[in-house]
Amino acid sequence: MVNARAVILRRIPFGDTSWILHAFSAEEGAISLMARGARRTGSPLAGAVEPLGLSEMVISMKPGRDLQTLSQATALEQRDGLRRDLVATAGAMVCAEIVLRLAREPGAHPGVFGILEDALFGFDQGGFCPPILWRFLARFCEEMGWALAVDHCAHCGTEDLAPNPVLSLSFGGFLCRACGTLSHEPHLPVDFAVALRQSRAGAQGRWSRQESERIEEIWFEHLFRHSQTRPKLESRPFLSEVRP
């Protein structure tokens, strides 16, 4: 038996009474679980297997088995704020789906777990705010070893960057004036460059939807290039549909 604090990333009905859960914990990383009987009325597991919730779990683990067994679970955070706010839920779902699709390796990964919890807490407590998503994307890239170079030239390493540097995703970040000639990419507007530099801490300022989505697209493109995969994130169209 293994004890783990885990976020429920996704659940799928199985039979008439059970759920298959995809969860992520600091101690075990990505886990797939069978929650037998959890769909029955009155099941002690019912409240602890809600999507995006945080639960304390007791798991029957067998090496080499793809689907582990959830023996016990207690809800620690049910995210009541998300239940009341569809846009915040959509933002949280994007973060959860990124972890689901791109952090698939089992094993301890407290860094990814921590930034996911931070993002879900932010959306739950404060509603949808684009910089919460940007911060998650920036920190997730760092945790996975794909940091975007925003404080130095991605090619030569100098910290002497223009206020409106060239951003080259093929090089992995900003380019200085000299190295910018190696790329055909245009110079970024100053406010976008500042937002990308500040993303890890949560960029300040007021952003239109168009501006927010452009900054997010930069982060997603960087993420997909370095992960060498382009998963179809079902949560992104949903966020686009409901966001103001």
Q: Would residue 170 count as lying in a domain?
A: no
Higher pLDDT, 96 or 78: 96
Q: Read off the tokens for 14.
A: 């199985």
Q: Could you tell me whether strands 29-35 and 68-77 are parallel, antiparallel, or unpaired per DSSP bridges?
A: parallel
Q: Which of 44, 78, 112 is the last residue of a domain?
A: 78
Same domain? For 212 and 134 the reply is yes
Task: Tell which of 21, 56, 78 closes a domain.
Answer: 78
pLDDT digits 0-9 by tens, 167-198:
999 999 999 999 999 998 989 999 999 999 99
Share of the chain above pLDDT 90, in %: 78
The answer to whether residues 72 and 87 belong to one domain is no
Residue 26, domain member (yes or no): yes
224 part of a folded domain: yes
- Extract the runs of DSSP E, i.e. beta strands, from the chain: 2-14, 18-25, 29-35, 54-60, 68-77, 166-168, 173-175
Q: What's the confidence (pLDDT) of residue 61?
A: 84
Q: Are residues 8 and 65 in the same domain?
A: yes
Q: Are residues 61 and 101 in the same domain?
A: no
Question: Which structural domain range is residue 223 located in?
Answer: 81-148+186-242
Residues 237 and 133 in one domain: yes
CA distance linking residue 75 with residue 71, whole number of Å: 14
Claim to verify: residue 111 and residue 129 sit in the same structural domain: yes
- pLDDT digit string, tens, across residues 19-57: 999 999 998 999 999 999 999 988 888 889 999 999 999
175 part of a folded domain: no
Query: pTM for the whole thing?
Result: 0.92
93 and 70 in a single domain? The answer is no
Q: Report the share of the chain in percent with pLDDT over 70.
A: 100
214 in the same domain as 96: yes
Instruction: Please give the average per-residue pLDDT across 4-11, as a whole number.
Output: 95
Structure tokens that stand for 205 in this block: 């300022």
Within-domain flag for 177: no
Average pLDDT, the chain: 93
Give residue 15's region: left, alpha or beta (phi > 0; psi -120 to 50).
left
In a domain, 66, yes or no: yes
Which CATH number do you get for residue 53?
A: 2.40.50.140
Domain boundary, last residue among 55, 78, 101: 78
